Structure 1
Amino acid sequence: MQILKLKEKISYACGDVASNFYWRVFDVFLFIFYTDVFGLHPGAVGTMMLVTRLIDAFSDPLMGALADRTETRFGKFRPYLLWGIIPLVAAGVLVFTVPDLDSDGKLIWAYATYIFMMLAYTFINVPYGALLGVMTGDSQERTTLTSFRFIGAFSGGSLVAYFTPTLVNELGQGDQALGWQLTMALYGIIAAILFVISFYNTRERISPPQKQPTPIRTDIKDLFNNKPWIILFSLALIVMMTITLRASSGTFYFKYYVGREDLIGSFSFVYMISLALGAACTPLMTKFFDKRTLLMVLMVVVAVLSSAFYLLDRTQITTMFALQIIIGFCLGPKSPLVFSMYADTADYSEWKNGRRATAMIFSAAAFAQKLGGAFAGAMMGWLLASLGYVANQVQSQDSSYGIVLLMTLIPGAFAIISVFIIRCYSLSDTEVSKLQKVLSERVPVQELK
């Protein structure tokens, strides 16, 4: 078994702490920033999120192909953790800058800066995700490493969820637009330091087969011939819709339905903490349960509890927090499990085709997450617009009901759909162990230091 040192696991996790200073801001706050601070119509925001994420349909696989073909003395993927810092920091500040333009000019600015942000995020995050697939070849160790990654992600997300509203108010001193701009600049500095730590303390150990064919068309063909990967792609898309709907609508839910905007930070914080605890418990759970079975059970619980939210009165705040904590704990293992399974599908592809395209597989996985977030954002925007949502005003009965649905029954329905998708996944833990044994006789793995 290829055991990684604790220092390397923590350093790898630092990369996703850094990423979540952006991803979690987008997930929780971006939609309400665009409607309530930037001044865009919710329908326009929904359409923009869908269009910009569709552009990632091209950027993610292309980035994966580029990373797979990169050759440096530091490896294929690690150098991007340094190269991508400046574009990411700059894009983060520009997205949260409110220009002095008319409504059309603001919309163009939003499109341009958000596309820039998505491309910058892809440039650094696709190689970061692929790095997991070449640090170790052991499936259980990958699950542990992925758990470290997402403990870092959810811990970073917890800090973002809790401190962002306070930072915006304190740094802006009453000017929310300035507060958001300065907050993202601060997050950029912290993220840069964390990415540097991740670069210096990780190593790539698994190399592709010698004389591996490299046409991009072949990599894409291998993806679509990889049935376990196709199922995981679909699963990640649907589960991300569940997660994004609950996270993004939660800000609207507490501001407009519950009438307690002061609780948004605390509500998001306990959710992130529960996600981190769920991720931390994943290696223990997988010692007793098959990954596929575990995912099915957890998503059934999420569906039931999300639907139970619908029955709550706006005054039952303690129950809201309790249900959110349990839902977060059940969703926490999703990311470690699925990303570990993606690494397994990379092994499966190499076993089946004699070729390894780790970054291509992980880039397409990242696209599934972004696409799921895009569909969720578009659904939110279009539904709120159709029901008469007006920013910073008391909402109509229809608009309030739409906000409740986005927080409860709609994500619950997507959670149920994900259960049926998981049932189709056929790459069991036993099969993974067998094909990895075959691969270990084909591909030399660099000796651990």
Structure 2
Amino acid sequence: MSKLRLPFHEKVAYGLGNFMPTAVTATGGMAMYFYTDVAGLSAAFIGALLLLVRIVDAFWDIWVGRRVDATRSRWGQARPYLLWFSPVLAIALVASFTVPPLEGTARTVYFVGAYVALWCAYSLIMIPFQSMLPMIAPDPDERLRVAGVSSFVQFIFVVGCAAGFPMLKDALSDGNPAQGFHRAALVYGGVGLLFTWLCFAFVRERVPPMSGPRANLKADLRALLASRAWRAGVLAQCALGALIGLPLASGVYYFAVVIGKPQLIGPFMGLGGIGLVLGVVLSDQLTRRLCKKRVYVGAMLGAALLLTAMTLGGPDRLPLVFTLAFLSNVCLGVSAPISYSMNGDIADDIEYREGQRVVGTLVATINFASKVGSGLCSAIVGGVLSVTAYQAGAAQQAPEALQGVVALMSVIPALMALGVAAVMGWAYPLGRSQLQQMNTELAQRRVATA
């Protein structure tokens, strides 16, 4: 079992499952702009609300994760969720980018409800989807290859979602920005539904659930807390969520008020997506030769250096801005499949040490950490814009507001990248030799149990 190799078409099919979650997260940067400049809500209110909702969402994520661990069906543990709940996520995505015919408090309540529904539905897809990786690929090396193909496909979707969404909403707006957002969300929701069902149809789970009664939540959480790898993974994923979200959320402000060319946000995001895809290809080559933990840390340090250099950009230095953004995204692309595959490695580590398989609950906690990071990102953007007196929709901004937007694109995400590198370099214990030994012993245990 440990040396099982998946057919390439199944790896691609698994990658297709990334579209719907990517559509939600990649359009998150436009969501902040949509709420402030189209829906008319204050940046500080939205930033605080998004952070609060994601903290509350932790309880929901844990429940979904435990349901995945407890599920037994002819389709497996995780695949049924992709079948039944992808339509729910598609509807919630459209609702989140729809301006209702309401005013005042009623409109605010609508957006709060739509946002809560969006992220609850997101968890019903994302947690089972990520939980599938160690279930379909028992071997850590093959898991990394699957994660590499999946990340390659995902970042193609990032190009389509992050770069294509603003262009699509402009093309479909007919002069009405709210209508453009709504129609673009309809397109993305429909495509995401199709791809998620294709993922369900062609992917197979191979690692059976452990026999015997399920441990209670307290025992599962105790097993997670006892894992040094899990503790490091949670901290790193939180910082990584903020790091990835900051350029997406602040890029539209950067090109609108600092560069003065908002039409460049689409090409900027597209070039960044190409950098991510190139980074994934490079990651596969590097991790075949080097310990993936060391590759991950090096990529984060490179991203921190390049993001810091973004402070040198400006309206008269657009080639430098695009080059630095492209190279920093290459570094993030290198780290992506490694970060993705680490969930399975941590799950194996807990099974190896504690005798418990808590994949769904583990993914829920890691996913929650990423959501907290994304919520922290929204709070940082909203806080910086408010403190620096950013004026929504104004062509001219105060110097403090311009400096704040530049910091959101450079120094602040650079600090996040340094934080990820520090955590993974000093606290994460699973290097190549540890994974090889652990996988060999786990394979023997599973065969004996079967």
Shared fold per TM-score greater than 0.5: yes
Do structure 1's residue 93 and structure 2's residue 94 form an aligned pair?
yes
Work out the CA distance in 1 between the residues paired with 2:370 and 2:416.
14
Q: What letter matches 1:263 in structure 2?
A: L
Query: Could you tell me which residue of structure 1 aligns to residue 214 of structure 2?
Result: 213
| Contact 2:314–2:321 (Cα < 8 Å) also in 1 | no
Note closer, same or farther for the CA distance 1:286–1:445 as it changes in structure 2 (3 Å cut).
Answer: farther
Q: What letter matches 1:152 in structure 2?
A: V
Query: Could you tell me which residue of structure 1 aligns to residue 148 of structure 2?
Result: 147
TM alignment of 1:279-318, pairs within 5 A? 279-318=280-319
The one of 435, 438, 447 aligned to 1:435: 438
Note closer, same or farther for the CA distance 1:388–1:445 as it changes in structure 2 (3 Å cut).
Answer: farther
Shift of residue 104 of structure 1? 2.5
Do structure 1's residue 177 and structure 2's residue 178 form an aligned pair?
yes
Query: Could you tell me which residue of structure 1 aligns to residue 32 of structure 2?
Result: 31
1:324-375 C-alpha deviation (Å, 9 max, x unpaired): 1100000012221112112111111011111101111112111111111100
Query: Could you tell me which residue of structure 1 aligns to residue 128 of structure 2?
Result: 127
Q: What letter matches 1:321 in structure 2?
A: F
Segments of 5+ residues of structure 2 without an aligned counterpart are: none
Q: What letter matches 1:331 in structure 2?
A: L
Query: Could you tell me which residue of structure 2 aligns to residue 426 of structure 1?
Result: 429
Greater Cα offset, 129-138 or 415-424 = 415-424
Do structure 1's residue 44 and structure 2's residue 45 form an aligned pair?
yes
Query: Could you tell me which residue of structure 2 aligns to residue 407 of structure 1?
Result: 409
Q: What letter matches 1:62 in structure 2?
A: W
| Contact 1:95–1:117 (Cα < 8 Å) also in 2 | yes
1:288-324 C-alpha deviation (Å, 9 max, x unpaired): 2212211111111111111111122321001111111
| Contact 1:18–1:156 (Cα < 8 Å) also in 2 | no
Greater Cα offset, 38-47 or 167-176 = 167-176
With the length of structure 1 as denominator, give the TM-score of the two structures. 0.97
Moved over 3 A (4+): 444-447
- How many residues align structurally? 446
Work out the CA distance in 2 between the residues paired with 1:238 and 1:22.
19
Work out the CA distance in 1 between the residues paired with 2:319 and 2:106.
43
Work out the CA distance in 2 between the residues paired with 1:445 and 1:181.
54
Aligned-residue Cα RMSD (Å) equals 1.5
Q: What letter matches 1:23 in structure 2?
A: T
SS in 2 for 1:79: helix
1:144-171 C-alpha deviation (Å, 9 max, x unpaired): 1111111121111101223222221222
1:245-290 C-alpha deviation (Å, 9 max, x unpaired): 1221111101111001110000001101111221222221112221
Shift of residue 446 of structure 1? 12
Shift of residue 213 of structure 1? 3.4
Greater Cα offset, 370-379 or 212-221 = 212-221
SS in 1 for 2:312: coil
| Contact 1:151–1:279 (Cα < 8 Å) also in 2 | yes
SS in 1 for 2:17: helix
| Contact 2:258–2:314 (Cα < 8 Å) also in 1 | no
Query: Could you tell me which residue of structure 2 aligns to residue 82 of structure 1?
Result: 83
Work out the CA distance in 2 between the residues paired with 1:134 and 1:425.
22
Work out the CA distance in 2 between the residues paired with 1:117 and 1:227.
32
Query: Could you tell me which residue of structure 2 aligns to residue 328 of structure 1?
Result: 329
Q: Percent identity?
A: 27
Q: What letter matches 2:223 in structure 1?
A: D
Segments of 5+ residues of structure 1 without an aligned counterpart are: none
Note closer, same or farther for the CA distance 1:446–1:6 as it changes in structure 2 (3 Å cut).
Answer: farther
SS in 2 for 1:392: coil
Q: What letter matches 2:437 in structure 1?
A: K
Work out the CA distance in 2 between the residues paired with 1:266 and 1:439.
47
| Contact 1:19–1:153 (Cα < 8 Å) also in 2 | no
Query: Could you tell me which residue of structure 2 aligns to residue 20 of structure 1?
Result: 22
Work out the CA distance in 2 between the residues paired with 1:402 and 1:427.
38
Q: What letter matches 2:125 in structure 1?
A: I
TM alignment of 1:167-206, pairs within 5 A? 167-206=168-207
Work out the CA distance in 2 between the residues paired with 1:168 and 1:127.
30
Q: What letter matches 2:59 in structure 1?
A: F
Q: What letter matches 1:89 in structure 2?
A: A
Query: Could you tell me which residue of structure 2 aligns to residue 105 of structure 1?
Result: 106
Shift of residue 400 of structure 1? 1.0
Shift of residue 445 of structure 1? 9.9
1:120-163 C-alpha deviation (Å, 9 max, x unpaired): 00011100000001001111110111111111211111012232
TM alignment of 1:365-380, pairs within 5 A? 365-380=366-381
With the length of structure 2 as denominator, give the TM-score of the two structures. 0.96
| Contact 2:163–2:269 (Cα < 8 Å) also in 1 | yes
Do structure 1's residue 116 and structure 2's residue 117 form an aligned pair?
yes
